[in-house]
Structure 1
Amino acid sequence: MNATNFQRVQTRCRIQNGLAVNLEIWNLGLALMWKDEMDVTIQSYSKHHINSIINMRRTSNIRVTGYYGHANPNEKSSTWDMLQRVGAAVNEEWVVGGDFNAMLNNAEKEGGVGSWVVHMG
């Protein structure tokens, strides 16, 4: 997702806080947006993940990780390794979502390029 597209989405959603990471292929990427009243801290990010902690104030924190796994079979282990490193540091409830590109074979594939959204608050 390029910066212009991300700003357009932010404007439509009326949400100014966020982070977008471009995958540099197919004009895709990861994005995390949140409302002003939410206390979100980005812990780490790369072109394959956005790792954040959300302070829930009245309850414990929640970790939210957006993930995009390598489509190239030769590079899949590197993104799984990254997810394991993030998981090793998790001390709170953890939500992980995204495109894991974890198909065992092409017979499992349905549809084409898609997207996902986690809406909180």
Structure 2
Amino acid sequence: MVESSKNVKPWRQDVKFAALAAKPTGWDTTPAMALSVVFKFQRPASHLGKNGLRPSAPQHCTSARNGDIEKLARSTNDALTGVLFDDDRQVVTLNATKRYCVEGEQPGAIITLTALTTNS
């Protein structure tokens, strides 16, 4: 597969390194998993005026420059494969959201992975 964005490889590396750093000792990589990702994007300067957010600024993060949510989720899922789970087919629940950063937030992602038990 050929990636269409030059940002995919560095994104995957960043996610992988963050996952390795956050991985608890003894983490089981074999069960089914639920993955939740909130992708946070910096608002373009054109959305801001002298008094803050312009009334005409879009509420939702739908700009083509931010990518489509399926590709964002897939690249994140791929980065976690071999780190927090053995194969991406183990992800049986996926919740993904794109939004603009709120004041004081940095662009990036909030990634939550939950190992599912037989009672989940």
TM-score, normalised by the number of residues in structure 2: 0.29
Instruction: Looking at secondary structure, tell me which structure has more helix per residue.
Output: 2
Structure number with larger C-alpha Rg? 2
RCO higher in 1 or 2 (8 Å CA, sep ≥ 6)? 2
TM-score, normalised by the number of residues in structure 1: 0.29
